[in-house]
Amino acid sequence: MLKSTRNALLGAALIGASFATHAHAETTLNALFMVQAAYSEADVRAMTDAFMKANPDIKVNLEFVPYEGLHDKTVLAQGSGGGYDVALFDVIWPAEYATNKVLVDVSDKITDEMKKGVLPGAWTTVQYDGKYYGMPWILDTKYLFYNKEILEKAGITAPPKTWDELSADAKIIKDKGLLATPIAWSWSQAEAAICDYATLVSAYGGDFLKDGKPDFQNGGGLDALKYMVSSYTSGLTNPNSKEFLEEDVRKVFENGEAAFALNWTYMYNMANDPKDSKVAGKVGVVPAPGVDGKSQVSAVNGSMGLGITATSKHQDEAWKYITFMTSQPVQNQYAKLSLPIWATSYDDPAVTKGQEELIGAAKHALAAMFPRPTTPKYQELSTALQQAIQESLLGQSKPEDALKTAADNSGL
């Protein structure tokens, strides 16, 4: 009798200990982010620290990679049986990630409040085939930045409204000896070049695909590449643009070595920071220009989302983290390098103060965001186009021929 009572007490104690351990068990999430553009690494760490403080039973390990490594790192981790619970993904990947079951369909987690509160254009970032594969987080497009002081010295009273005007203004600046190469682009053989190209395709009224087949080799797609080649060969564009990524463009612009530059939102406040920039206080920003008779402004959808990986063993906690990171209070607090996805944020003085010019440009540009193609074969298509752009810039191939080859090699 005594022995059985002792065993029962021991069993109860063990069960109690197990419950106590479980109650204080810490869930560890692994999250993958990028190290360039949009929110800074310091911002992401600060947001995550705030989340862990509010959720002491969840620990989040952060890993940062360059944008160029983000896709492959996510996909390879899946193949090795996990690694990440939360992954940052580009607007161009949901088709591939949904088809290959890289991300979890979270349609049932998206509330009516979220649907009504988030800007409609932001939702396209995370959707494929009518389903949601995460929450939009970075709402972004490329803007035309200009150096107000250089334009003033050149006698140019307003920023260009069309791409032809931009070329004409750049020529004035060059001819007056103010800058040898007034324009900077990110035309390295990478996705950055596709974003610049897509901005121009939108301006010229082109299409990437028609009825699921390549159409960029015709009409506006061809005109866009011809404009790039013309800007490059005329000597108006910095010749190193063919190797530049966005950070290179930022540094050149901040050094006062470019009158015009196409870049993401984050450059506005960084270029206006006197600690790092020689052009602080001289930075102008407007939507990317249009083309007479075809468009008023041009813009590419460069937004990104946060999703739960299919191999995550902590999907509820991962969703809790994602909803915190994408929440309006958090986004409003960190609205200097990336603008919020929430419609009413743009009327909040905490968001607009000190960046009224950027917000003014955003209201026009975000409404005109042009998508890169939604296809599971996007990576092949992008690689073929990157090669076509490089060959055309280097004079190894005519734009017509380069784009026709890219269409043949697109996998579509």
- Residue-wise pLDDT tens digits, 324-366: 999 999 999 999 889 999 999 999 998 999 999 999 999 899 9
Q: Residue 13 — pLDDT band, cuts 50, 70, 90?
A: very low
* Per-residue DSSP letter, 63: E
The average confidence (pLDDT) of the chain is 92
pLDDT at 23 over 90: no
Given the candidates 3.40.50.20, 2.60.120.1140, 3.30.420.40, 3.40.190.10, the CATH classification of the domain at 142-300+377-408 is 3.40.190.10
Asked if the model's pLDDT at residue 28 lies above 80, the reply is yes
pLDDT of amino acid 328: 97
Q: Tell me: pLDDT of 82 over 90.
A: no
pLDDT tens digits for range 125-182: 999 999 999 999 999 999 999 999 999 999 999 999 999 999 999 999 999 999 999 9
Q: What is the pLDDT of residues 379-405, one digit of tens each?
A: 999 999 999 999 999 999 999 999 999
Tell me, what's the pLDDT at 374? 87
Instruction: Give φ, ψ of 300 to 5 degrees.
Output: -110, 145
Q: What local confidence, expressed as pLDDT, does residue 78 receive?
A: 83
Is the pLDDT assigned to residue 7 strictly greater than 80? no
pLDDT in tens, 198-251: 999 999 999 999 999 999 999 999 999 999 999 999 999 999 999 999 999 999
What confidence score (pLDDT) does residue 22 get? 44
Q: What number of H helices and E strands is found in the chain?
A: 18, 14
The dihedral built from the CA positions of residue 73, 75, 81 and 87, taken in this order, carries a sign that is positive
Is 70 exceeded by the pLDDT of residue 298?
Answer: yes
Can you read off the two tokens belonging to residue 154? 């050149």
Query: What is the structure's pLDDT at 81?
Result: 65
Span 27-140+302-368 CATH architecture: 3-Layer(aba) Sandwich (3.40)
Residue 24 has pLDDT above 70, yes or no: no
Q: Read off the pTM.
A: 0.86
Query: How many other C-beta atoms can be found within 10 angstroms of the C-beta atom of residue 191?
Result: 24
Within this chain, domains 27-140+302-368 and 142-300+377-408 share the same CATH topology: yes
| CA-wise closest residue to 185 among 263, 255, 285 | 263
Q: Note whether 135 and 104 are within 8 A (CB).
A: no
Cα 142 to its chain centre, rounded Å, is 9
For the segment 365-383, the average pLDDT, to the nearest whole number, is 92
pLDDT for position 38: 86
Q: Taking the domains of the chain in order of start, what are their residue ranges? A: 27-140+302-368, 142-300+377-408
Residues 6 or more apart from 337 whose CB is under 8 A from it?
Answer: 38, 39, 40, 43, 265, 266, 269, 270
Q: Span 307-327, mean pLDDT?
A: 97
Q: Does pLDDT of 19 surpass 60?
A: no
Cβ atoms 404, 235 nearer than 8 A: no
Q: pLDDT at position 14, please?
A: 44
